[in-house]
Amino acid sequence: MKLTWLGHSCFLLEHDDYRIVMDPYKGVPGYPPLSVKANGVYCSHAHADHNATELVGRLTGRKNPFNVRTVKTFHDDSDGAERGENTIHIFGAGDITIAHMGDLGHHLTLEQIEAIGPLTVMLIPVGGVYTIDAVGAKSACMALRPRCVIPMHYRHPPYGLPNIAELDPFLKLWPKTSVHRLDGPSLDITTDLSGVYVPRFASDT
């Protein structure tokens, strides 16, 4: 199984010749136009920087190897009154379970934590303003205890929304030995992963 960061909160997940794109974006400052093909597309909510499904070319003829579950949350800490609902998508195949947290905007409830369940990989927003911030993201990680954490939805100049935080405040909350900076945008997903993994945006490789 292979996971590739396409920028912002968008990832490509590949397994058994089946391709899934999560939260395709458009209009995010700095990032080039998204160009990707996939069999399936999943969006956490209806904002343009997370649901640009028209930019994903569709592939057919393959059966989805993933068990897909959803958990309803909110885009803010006011039960959705400010920015609406947010859907967490959980993809399972074999011994691997991956959760894309979307634009989570609040602390998870015990019921939500139980519904999400054990995770191999957690894709978590860390930039604040529109989502939980670094401290909120670390709290969510401690609650769910995934084997692998991959941060998303942060600014890394010249890429990203100009008013959200960069990555360092989140990384400073972890022991240095648990942070792994990748040489490229992709990571092979196995049950042996442990710690925080930071993909490198493809245009910087």
pLDDT of residue 203: 76
Does the predicted model carry a pTM greater than 0.85? yes
pLDDT of residue 204: 62
pLDDT of residue 79: 85
Topology of the domain comprising 2-204:
Metallo-beta-lactamase; Chain A (3.60.15)
Domain ranges within the chain, ordered by starting residue: 2-204
pLDDT of residue 77: 87
* Structural element, H or E, at residue 181: strand 179-181
Block means of pLDDT (10 residues each) for the chain, 205 residues, are 97 97 97 95 95 96 95 91 93 97 96 97 97 97 98 97 97 97 96 96 73
Nearest to 146 by CA among 108, 176, 184, 182: 108
Could you write out the DSSP letters of every residue in 106-142? SPPPHHHHHHH---SEEEEE-S-SSS--HHHHHHHHH
